[in-house]
Amino acid sequence: MERVHRTIDSYLRYAEHNQAAYRAIVSGGVGFDTEVHAIRDGVREAIVATIAEGAYGRTDIAPVARMGLLAWVCSVEGAALAWIARGELTRETMSALLVKTLGGTMRAIEELDPACPAPAPARRDG
């Protein structure tokens, strides 16, 4: 769980300290730049693979798990954009919020596909 906190904090720190670059990468920049889109999509896939490896011990996961994790990653991007624009929360609070929403995502994935159980730190039954 500590690794998840550190990773999300580092992600937010990057967005906070590199706002113009972060906005360009996440939103696609001005116009349509296939290189920027390829970078963004590659980062998304790497994040999904990292979470899958940590949660399930593998990166070849069921479609519902892949889509659920991708939806979480995309929500993090949007939330980080709003966070750097508004500055209403501390990085620590924002990080904690994103960690908790990842736990919720993992529980939703398990509910829809019991073959993809949420890891112990994300569970509410233990």
| Chain segment 17-70, per-residue pLDDT in tens | 999 989 988 887 666 678 878 888 898 999 999 999 999 999 999 999 999 999
Q: Give me the pLDDT at residue 120, please.
A: 84
Q: Please, what's the largest Cα pairwise distance for the chain?
A: 48
Q: In the predicted model, is pLDDT for residue 14 greater than 70?
A: yes
The three-state secondary structure class of 61 is coil
Average of per-residue pLDDT values in the chain? 91
What's the CA gap between 92 and 14, in Å, rounded?
14
| Chain segment 92-126, per-residue pLDDT in tens | 999 999 999 999 999 999 999 999 999 987 776 54
Q: Which residues contact 80 (CB under 8 A, 6 or more apart)?
A: 11, 12, 15, 22, 26, 94
Q: Give me the pLDDT at residue 32, please.
A: 64
